[in-house]
Amino acid sequence: MGLVNGASAWDAFKKDIIRKVREHDKRVKHNYRIFNEKQFDDWLKKEERSYQNLLEPIARRNLIVHNLGRVDEQYVKVIPASQHQAGKRLPDVDLDYVKKTSEAFFSAAQEIVTSLVKNNRLGQEHLDTMGFFQRNPLQR
């Protein structure tokens, strides 16, 4: 369940970031251009190292939710290095996998916000707010 919730939170994060980038671009009237989910995903694939760590958990979540955990051709395409064969069921996730995946989502979110502020696509206030979250909540 944690994996499904993490991927859902990631989707909400992406929508929120896209909305905030659009608002920022309008407010500063600087290079205003449409910024949509496809452009965001394309930017992530090119710019953000940590995004690569999210590909497998997101693909796995999709299998769990939409395919009862059975590997399909889409999973094999997205995760070509996987040892799992189409039609076979993925092994259950353990607590260690959920923790590592949560850390990957957390790191990716930090990296994305930092990069967008650095590239003047988000205001500095987003970094200031993020300072509150610098400590990983999984490490208590």
Per-residue pLDDT, 10: 78
Residue 45 has pLDDT above 60, yes or no: yes
pLDDT tens for residues 19-31? 888 888 777 766 5
Please name the residue ranges forming H helices in the chain. Answer: 2-28, 37-47, 55-67, 73-78, 95-118, 125-130
Pairwise CA distance, residues 37 & 57, whole Å:
19
Per-residue pLDDT, 136: 52
Q: Where are the domains of the chain?
A: 2-128
Per-residue pLDDT, 89: 94
Amino acid at the residue 134: Q
pTM of the model: 0.73
